């Protein structure tokens, strides 16, 4: 099921593509190690295609095709300190698609807010989850400065941000215009 992104209109989509292109030019586009070589090669175009015309669920569907996801990945073993090979989660494509589509959506909304002189964005839930994290629940409805959030997201591609927005994998959080 696609994320419920309230402000996903043509203006937001155009800004998402600008942000994706910025990361591509700067060689900072996050390429997940869970993507296969084929997936890594296809990912930038798939991301732009879905930002232009579709949503995160279409990106997830595309990532699940043509062997774009690795069948296994290396996971750190906390007991031994080494790594072990494990089978890829069945929904890894969805988790990756939701997280990265949402990050570019948030970056686009930050740009809109800055351009329109809107001082704050509102943290909101865009995905229904069975067990909401307490930290996520308490953040819903809070305001966040778009300039600070944009800088944070740009500086931390593919990893947790200092502001913890969107809130980690499967958090279900995003932002919206007030």
d(CA 6, CA 126): 8
pLDDT tens, 106-136?
999 999 999 999 999 999 999 977 666 656 6
Rounded (10°) angle between helices 37-53 and 10-25 = 150
Where exactly are the structural domains of the chain?
10-176
Grade residue 158 by pLDDT with cuts at 50, 70 and 90: confident
Instruction: State the pTM of this model.
Output: 0.91
Cross-strand partners of 123: 175
pLDDT tens, 89-114?
999 999 999 999 999 999 999 999 99
Q: Is the pLDDT of residue 174 over 70?
A: yes
Sequence-ordered list of residues with C-beta below 8 angstroms from that of 83, at least 6 positions apart, any chain: 74, 75, 76, 77
For residue 49, give the H/E element and its range: helix 37-53
pLDDT tens, 31-69?
999 999 999 999 999 999 999 999 999 999 999 999 999
d(CA 58, CA 76): 30
Tokens of 90: 């069945």
Rounded (10°) angle between helices 56-63 and 37-53 = 160
Grade residue 14 by pLDDT with cuts at 50, 70 and 90: very high
d(CA 118, CA 131): 32
């Amino acid at each position: 099921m696609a994320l419920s992104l309230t402000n996903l209109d043509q203006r937001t989509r155009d800004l998402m593509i600008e942000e994706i292109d910025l990361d591509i030019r700067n060689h900072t586009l996050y390429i997940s190690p869970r993507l296969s070589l084929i997936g890594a090669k296809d990912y930038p175009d798939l991301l732009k295609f879905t930002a232009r015309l579709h949503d995160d669920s279409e990106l997830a569907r595309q990532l699940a095709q043509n062997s774009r996801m690795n069948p296994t990945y290396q996971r750190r073993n906390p007991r031994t300190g080494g790594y072990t090979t494990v089978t890829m989660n069945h929904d890894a494509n969805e988790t990756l698609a939701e997280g990265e589509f949402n990050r570019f959506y948030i970056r686009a909304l930050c740009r809109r807010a800055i351009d329109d002189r809107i001082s704050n964005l509102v943290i909101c839930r865009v995905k229904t989850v069975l067990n909401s994290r307490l930290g996520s629940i308490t953040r819903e409805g809070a305001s966040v400065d778009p300039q600070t959030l944009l800088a944070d997201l740009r500086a931390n591609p593919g990893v947790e941000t200092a502001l913890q927005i969107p809130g980690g994998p499967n958090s279900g959080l995003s932002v919206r215009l007030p």
